[in-house]
Amino acid sequence: MKTFKLYALQVIDGQGGKMEQHPIPFKDGLIINMENEDKTWFLDAVVSNEDAHFFEREQEAERHILVSVVITSKNNHPAVMITSIEAITELDQGKSVVLKGKIVSGRDDVLEDVFEDILAEGIERADVVDEFKRRVEKLEAYSDKTIQEVYQDLKKDKNYHLL
């Protein structure tokens, strides 16, 4: 088991066909890789009572939540996780929200999208490496594309009930 500091948390909403990422402010947070065969992760974030209302509604509706998380440092690439709410606990100030999930998209998936686009565009062999490096510097645009693909795939999957 490995524990990391949670640096950023965003909820991904695909309602209406438009992908939106909503930052969730939190006072403190951590993320745990259980390192088991199911590849389970737990995320614990201390949020305001106001922000906790969103999670309480989703828990009541028994919906899954697609989230983007950054661990340890702002320099790390975000990972996308499909999660369910395990617990919401009242604290002196705010609430602890515990999510259980699996990573469904990470840096490797985004890099794969970059490479596939370069191949599809028929870029000359001699220019492929330079073009790849140039696009990797702008991964955010590809992250959005990858997130949209992941969201659509999960929305079609009968095992998940998303926003």
The vertex-139 CA angle with 37 and 63, nearest 5°, equals: 50
Q: What is the distance between the alpha carbons of residues 136 and 123, in angstroms, rounded to a whole number?
A: 16
Q: What is the distance between the alpha carbons of residues 148 and 126, in angstroms, rounded to a whole number?
A: 31
Q: What are the chain's domains?
A: 2-106 (2.40.30)
Q: How far apart are the first and last CA of the chain?
A: 30
pLDDT of 18-49, one tens digit each? 778 899 999 999 999 999 999 999 999 999 99
pLDDT band at 110 (very low <50, low <70, confident <90, very high): low
Structural Rg of the chain based on CA atoms = 17
Task: Write a three-state SS string for the chain.
Answer: CEEEEEEEEEEEECHHHCCEEEECCCCEEEEEECCCCCCCEEEEEEECHHHHHHHHHHHHCCCCEEEEEEECCCCCCCEEEEEEEEEEEECCCCEEEEEEEEEEECHHHHHHHHHHHHHHCCCCHHHHHHHHHHHHCCHHHHHHHHHHHHHHHHHHCCCCCCC
Contacts of 136 by beta carbon, 8 Å cutoff, 6+ apart: 111, 114
pLDDT band at 136 (very low <50, low <70, confident <90, very high): low
Say what the pLDDT of residue 96 is: 98
Q: Tokens standing for 111?
A: 């890099």
Judged against a pLDDT cut of 60, whether residue 142 lies above it is answered with: no
